[in-house]
Structure 1
Amino acid sequence: MTEFALPRNAFKAKLAARKDPVLGLWLMLGADASTELLADAGFDYVLVDGEHSPLDIDLMRRQIAAAERGASSVVVRPPVNEAWILKQLADAGAQSFIIPMVDTAEQAEAAVQACLYPPQGIRGAAGVVRAARYGRIPGYLTKANAEICVVPQVETLTAVENIEAICAVEGVDAIFIGPSDLSASMGFTGRPGAPEVDEVIRSSIARIHACGKPACTLGFDEATVAKYLGMGADMVAVGSDVTLLLRGAAELLAKHR
């Protein structure tokens, strides 16, 4: 039987190095062809978004497979922080996870454990899943944990209060700050760029760095991306397949009207 090596998680390594900004693109359309195309566009990573897109497990698996054909790392965001879906996504080949709505250290620990095999976690030990090339990666069950990357999302004032505790959870690789939900939690719904929100994000990034962890966020326009990079963010999502289509279509039409 042909054997393969365990894929190295370049996203995890680059995030941990904190040398250059890690720039990525959100994938929300669930279209295999556009995912394959964008995964070769030069971004450090592409993220398959299962939280705000109507993607079931099979559609997410197909997006992971399509993205793997490109040069970008693949990250997934499940719809919820629940063990069953994290286990299935790990078996489907996901190595990097951004976990939505993590408010406490206990919730962060639950996410980490769902993604890791025992003794560090509770992931079910099946060696013939897609992530193991259906049994063609020797020793997969004992090697996989080292390449798993777990990034909880801080999206509420409760989560902000618990940043240090979340950072202290073994297996948490970085913290992602979600500006939109955080702004809503603060009473500024629809205003993620409000000065009050910016100040919380700025201080949160500093606190995350003080814990020795990379800080991540997203900004889907040039000015917002520059603002967060200026605050010290180590990873920023700079757009999505949806925003690329929207802006590209509007710009094309404007040129020819």
Structure 2
Amino acid sequence: MPIHLSPTLRERLTDSDRPLVGGWVCSGSPVMAEVMAGGGLDVLLLDMEHAPNGLESILAQLHAVSGYPVTPIVRVPSADAVTIKQVLDLGAQNILVPMVSTAEEAREVAAAAQYPPAGRRGIGSALARSGRWSRVPDYLARGAEHVSVFVQIETVEGVENAEDIAAVDGIDGIFLGPSDLSASMGLLGQQTHPDVVAAVERSFAAGRAAGVPVGVNAFDPDVARGYVAAGADWILVGADVSLAARGAERLAAEFIPQPPAGA
């Protein structure tokens, strides 16, 4: 039976009349991925860079969210071509590649995600979930239609090269990472510093000039709203682990007596 894949993040961004809102899944848990998927968000980022995830756990999370109207994107741990190939073969239709600072690095990412002659992605869809074991019609010929590729700008060099990065053929958009960007700017831990925010917004302008959507991570609600006002096409506003941590702390504060001040 022919199978038709879900729209990519590229397609969802093109078709949306508002910024898409998403969250991170950093626990490595398919249960938490499904809990987040049912919450009404547009996008879920499954993280392999800073979370305890391998191929098997990412596959389990892709399965867990597949029954919900949410678009998953997998952040691979690096621009390694083998990892990109394996994650795409798992059936991930959307990937985010961290720490891309030059157009040449972006071209390498694009090549790793596309079949020849446009790129150098290995041919294995008949054996993999990506083409649903040859049940997706013309998967090889239409592979680029079924995959969207985003790169993460997280350094001063990346901000300077943002327009060139965004203009690379095969790159569907850029995503700003204020945490590492703040460190690159000598402002470690100050993701909401005005200079960091300004650098993010300059990158937005560069992405728009290149004609691609721009996104950003922003857990501070006021900063997030500011980025939306500045033109973010998609934004990640929270993470499963942070939501659980803050929720547990609120329960403890509410129900466990606190010692008197100065005791």
TM-score using structure 2 length? 0.92
**Residue aligned with 1:134, SS:** coil
Distance between the aligned counterparts of 1:24 and 1:200, measured in 2?
A: 22
Q: Which has the larger radius of gyration?
A: 2
What is the CA–CA distance in structure 1 between the aligned matches of 2:206 and 2:163, rounded to whole Å?
7
Partner SS, residue 196 of structure 1: helix
The amino acid across from 1:143 in the alignment is R
Between 24-33 and 111-120, the greater mean CA deviation after superposition: 111-120
Q: Does 1:242 align with 2:249?
A: no
Q: What count of residue pairs does the alignment treat as equivalent?
A: 255
Are 1:152 and 2:156 counterparts?
no
Say whether residues 1:46 and 2:63 are aligned partners: no
8 Å Cα contact 2:204/2:214 also seen in 1 = yes
The 5 Å alignment of 1:106-125 reads: 106-125=104-123
TM-score after normalising by structure 1: 0.94
Instruction: Quote the offset at 1:57 in angstroms.
Output: 1.6
2:252 equivalent in structure 1:
253
Partner of 2:221: 222
* Distance apart, 1:255 and its partner CA: 3.2
Alignment partner, residue 9 of structure 1: 7
In structure 1, how many angstroms separate the alpha carbons of the residues matched to 2:119 and 2:164? 19
Any conservation in 2 of the 1:78–1:100 contact (CA below 8 Å)? yes
> Hey, what does 1:211 align to over in structure 2?
210
Q: By how many angstroms is 1:38 displaced?
A: 1.4
- How far apart are residue 71 of structure 1 and its match? 1.7
Q: What RMSD in Å do the two structures reach over aligned CA positions?
A: 1.4
For residue 130 of structure 2, give the secondary structure of its aligned residue in structure 1: helix
Instruction: Describe the SS at the equivalent of 2:24.
Output: strand
What amino acid is aligned across from residue 91 of structure 1 in structure 2? D
The percentage of counterpart residues that share the same residue type is 37
Aligned to 2:35: 37
1:61 maps to amino acid: L
Of residues 175-184 and 127-136 in structure 1, the stretch that sits farther from structure 2 once superposed is: 127-136
Query: Which consecutive unaligned segments of at least 5 residues does structure 2 have?
Result: 257-263
Q: Distance in 2 between matches of 1:233 and 1:30?
A: 27
Letter in 1 for 2:111: Q
- TM-aligned CA deviation for residue 9 of structure 1: 2.1
Q: For residue 189 of structure 2, what is the aligned residue in structure 1?
A: 190
Inter-CA distance 188–95: structure 2 relative to 1 (3 Å threshold): same
